[in-house]
Amino acid sequence: MNPHSEPSKRSTDSNSAATPSAPPPSTPPRPPEPPAPADPRSASDPTPPARSAESSRPADSAHTTTPSAPTQPAGSSTPSDPSGSTHSSAPSDAVPAPPAEAQVTLRSPAELADALPYLMGFYPDDSVVLIALHGDRGRFGGRVRLGIPTDTAQWPDVADQLAECLISAGQERDTRPEAILVYLCQEPAEGESGKDVKDRLRPLAQRLRTACGALDVPVLEALCLSNGRFWSYCCPDFRCCPVEGTPMVMPGTSVMAAAAAYAGMQVRGSLKEMEARLMPRTGRRAAEQEKVLDAAAGALVPRMLERDGAAAVRRDTLDLAGAMIHRFRQDTPSGSNRARDACDDALITDAEAADLILGLQDRVTRDRAAEWMDGSVAAPALRLWRALARRCAGGYAEHAVAPLTLAGWVCWSTEDGPSARIALNCALSLDPDYTFAQLLHRAINEGLDPEPLRRCLREQNHEVVSAAEDAPAPAADSPSTAKETRRPPRRPGAAGRPRGPRGGTGPGTRSTDGRGRRRAGRDGDRSRR
């Protein structure tokens, strides 16, 4: 199982639902989030389980500032923003006083169980989740998530290292957790019931409780969520926690759901559903794509051996990517995620996908492609990177690392932290040493702002374009030279065109009209396509 750092990065304040008599929650300073490992691996990986743990930022970043919340129970906690960004709405000009924060108080195990998808941004299938509580009133803070290991022999080490990861991260920021919540989420296997799952996972829950207790941080509640029901490992009273479990509330009917909708928070489905959008094709279509990839790879080698072959391949890859983003931008599908992904797959041919997949294996090309990261091109670029990841079939599975990392970068750049973590964890599960994915994964989990990296990419593109424009023009009778020295793809202005590498004629092939104005060339001007 791949650990995902996505869950959460914000923190919702909540009354520790395990203690209904506790005082109403307050809103202390936002707690830190545990650092994420640079090398996430699956739970069955022989490496130390702690390195597989996925941490996320505190959920408080979703403080929703509104003149009045639709439901604001007294002593409440702030709903967390699953995307990891701060969402706020300024009060209307007619309201002179500062607006009150929309807050929610979680008072029972049922409310805690219902809140998990909103804290994480998705439902964490087959996962163990630990959430830190801070202050006397139990404000949600950092959290870690890891796929439940199938090998029970790993459970003791997993429990010890997850507890150490979450608690030590808080100590580093001088906000040691006061308590911890534990969630074990797993659906029944064939022939199992939810109660069977609860009983099977009881040793893991007990080990997590003792691991946290050994570090002087108690577990206030440990819940098992399975088959639409939940069980408490801490409450022995069958009147409130029956043996057959307690049904989960209907989605969208709880106070937490109302507060999340009011705050603009989004639950993106389950972890499995989100990962399925990035998984490679299977069956007949996968075999056909693999054959085309083989042919494209065979044709690419001679090209790379030519003089300046690498530069030509980079230019062609970026031109093709720009054309694909323009195509995706002109055709926006609707419907379910599955239907939209099917439409995206139909927009790109096997040959085009093969050329892009192979071209993006070059680091320079990948970094230039990362310039499609915001504005109106972010959404079509993300759809393209996902589509390419799904085309990395058969023996080309590891080639998906580049498009997966680009997908994670676009998600983070557009403030979708949960989706970014999932994409980056998928990339790192294929290649744990992929530096770009490692750096992005760590930056997201440490709550860094993507804007400095965006600014760096913009400046880099500007420098490349300036250098190309300052280069001497080639001889008029050397068309091959003119082609090689044409201006690298550049980002258009704010006219609404896709940002990022685009084709364009270079200094040697420009022409002007009689008044000295540049005329658009037909070859290489992708704005005509």
The CATH number assigned to the domain holding 192 equals: 3.40.140
| The last residue of a domain, from among 246, 267, 288 | 267
Query: Beta strands of 167-324 (E only): which ranges?
Result: 179-185, 219-226, 229-232, 246-247
| The last residue of a domain, from among 216, 241, 267 | 267
| DSSP code at position 181 | E
| The last residue of a domain, from among 220, 248, 267 | 267
**Hey, is 103 helix, strand or coil?**
coil
Helix spans in 337-484 (H) = 337-346, 350-359, 363-369, 378-390, 401-413, 417-430, 435-445, 451-470, 479-484
Q: Which amino acid is at 8?
A: S
At residue 197, the pLDDT reads: 95
At residue 475, the pLDDT reads: 44
What are the b/e assignments for 454-487, b being 16+ CB within 10 Å?
A: beebeeebeebbeebeeeeebeeeeeeebbbbbb
182 and 262 belong to one structural domain: yes
Q: What's the rounded Cα separation, in Å, for the pair 269 and 266?
A: 9
235 and 326 belong to one structural domain: no
**Hey, is 58 helix, strand or coil?**
coil
Q: What's the rounded Cα separation, in Å, for the pair 429 and 47?
A: 13
Q: Return the axis-axis angle of helices 378-390 and 337-346, rounded to nearest 10°.
A: 80
The segments of the chain whose pLDDT lies below 70 read 1-102, 252-253, 461-529
320 and 428 belong to one structural domain: yes
Q: What's the domain count of the chain?
A: 2
Task: Report yes or no on whether pTM surpasses 0.85.
Answer: no
251 and 291 belong to one structural domain: no
Here the contacts of 218-221 (C-beta below 8 Å, separation 24 or greater) are 218/179, 218/180, 219/179, 219/180, 219/181, 219/182, 220/16, 220/18, 220/19, 220/133, 220/138, 220/179, 220/180, 220/181, 221/16, 221/17, 221/18, 221/109, 221/112, 221/181, 221/182
**What is the CB-side half-sphere exposure of residue 156 using CA atoms within 13 A?**
1
Residue 124 belongs to domain spanning? 109-267
Q: What's the rounded Cα separation, in Å, for the pair 9 and 443?
A: 12
Q: Which residues lie across from 259 on neighbouring strands? A: none
At residue 280, the pLDDT reads: 93
Is 26 contained in some domain?
no
Closest of 113, 326, 341 to residue 240, by C-alpha: 113
335 and 186 belong to one structural domain: no
- Radius of gyration of the chain measured on its C-alpha atoms: 26
At residue 252, the pLDDT reads: 65
| Farthest CA pair distance, the chain | 90
Closest of 289, 446, 438, 437 to residue 356, by C-alpha: 289
At residue 420, the pLDDT reads: 93
Is 280 contained in some domain?
yes
244 and 358 belong to one structural domain: no
Closest of 488, 485, 506 to residue 364, by C-alpha: 488
Spatial CB neighbours of 514, under 8 Å, sequence gap ≥ 6: none
Is 501 contained in some domain?
no
261 and 287 belong to one structural domain: no
What's the pLDDT tens digit per position in 376-425?
999 999 999 999 999 999 999 999 999 999 999 999 999 898 899 999 99
254 and 283 belong to one structural domain: no
Record the tokens describing residue 324, joined without a space: 């694909």
370 and 451 belong to one structural domain: yes
Checking phi first, is residue 516 left (phi over 0); if not, alpha (psi -120 to 50) or beta?
left
Exposed/middle/buried for 236, CB within 10 Å: 0-12, 13-18, 19+? exposed
Spatial CB neighbours of 455, under 8 Å, sequence gap ≥ 6: none
Is 186 contained in some domain?
yes
Record the tokens describing residue 47, joined without a space: 């490496």
350 and 218 belong to one structural domain: no
408 and 315 belong to one structural domain: yes
Is 217 contained in some domain?
yes
Is 168 contained in some domain?
yes
At residue 463, the pLDDT reads: 59
140 and 287 belong to one structural domain: no
Q: What's the rounded Cα separation, in Å, for the pair 440 and 447?
A: 11
Is 414 contained in some domain?
yes
Is 201 contained in some domain?
yes
**What is the CB-side half-sphere exposure of residue 125 using CA atoms within 13 A?**
16
